[in-house]
Amino acid sequence: MYNRIKTKPDPSSTWTFRYSPEMLRHIGMQVENLMSQYSSLKIYKRAIERQLAAIATRISEHDGVLLPRSVFLLLEMRGSGGVSAQLEQIASIVDEQGYWKPQGHVPNYQRQDVYHLGQSAQRLFDDYTVLDRRIEHVQAHLRHIKQCRQMGSDTTPLEVFEELAATPDLVSVQNRVDAIVQLLGPTKQSRWFRWLLQHRGRNKIRSTE
């Protein structure tokens, strides 16, 4: 029979990162920026969808889901004649959003140019899908924070984190704030925000040692 040895918990294992009021306000701004980016991408995605529907009607193709990869595959096979106006609109949108588009105007496009434009449009759709999932998780965490802190459902992310910044105790929502910070990770952050993620990461590693 073996005696169980009782060990004292390592203080570092219960270490919790403390967010300063400045950090919390900055997180709120980052959440607002992410949601603004999401809203813009959603508008542009719908604009491309309208052009894809117009192209499908023009080439008498109504089957299947209207995704750039499927519509542009058809254009590669049959040519892009008669849909230059729609392709110009799509090219303008992807270019405005920072995705690559072929040089020149659509009437001068080669078949390979049409293929690459379709790739850029599909990439915008794929990025939207990824961002949509992230926003869904962020909003779920925000709802939990609002419920815990008895905030109105219409409280904006900026207001949520402003209120958290004014409250020294984050114990009840600490995990939710941590999760939101992680969800903000892939966005284009400032150098200060990247430091925050790296600093939290180092402390997390230290707490598990």
Using CA atoms, how far apart are residues 95 and 116, in angstroms rounded to an integer? 12
Using CA atoms, how far apart are residues 159 and 40, in angstroms rounded to an integer? 21
Mean pLDDT of 63-79: 82
- Specify the pLDDT at position 16: 57
Distances (CA, A) of 168 to 7, 33, 68, 76: 32, 25, 49, 60
Which residue has better confidence, 195 or 41?
41
In a 3-state reduction of DSSP, which class is residue 60? coil
Is residue 66 within 8 Å of residue 52, measured between CB atoms? yes
Triad 28, 163, 192: Cα angle to 5°: 35
Phi and psi dihedrals of 120, rounded to 5? Answer: -65, -40
Using CA atoms, how far apart are residues 170 and 184, in angstroms rounded to an integer? 19
- Type of residue at 195: W
The string of DSSP letters for 142-184 reads HHHHHHHTT--TT--HHHHHHHHHT-S--GGGHHHHHHHHHHT
Q: pLDDT tens digits, residue range 73-127? A: 888 888 877 888 999 999 999 999 999 988 888 777 888 888 999 999 999 999 9
Using CA atoms, how far apart are residues 66 and 69, in angstroms rounded to an integer? 9
Using CA atoms, how far apart are residues 99 and 123, in angstroms rounded to an integer? 8
CA atoms within 13 A on the CB side of 95: 12
Of the chain, the percentage scoring pLDDT greater than 70 comes to 78
- Specify the pLDDT at position 171: 84
Q: What is the pTM (predicted TM-score) of this model?
A: 0.77
- Specify the pLDDT at position 15: 45
pLDDT band at residue 193 under the 50/70/90 scheme:
low
> Hey, CA dihedral for 25, 30, 35, 36, is it positive or negative?
positive
- Other Cβ atoms closer than 10 A to 46: 10
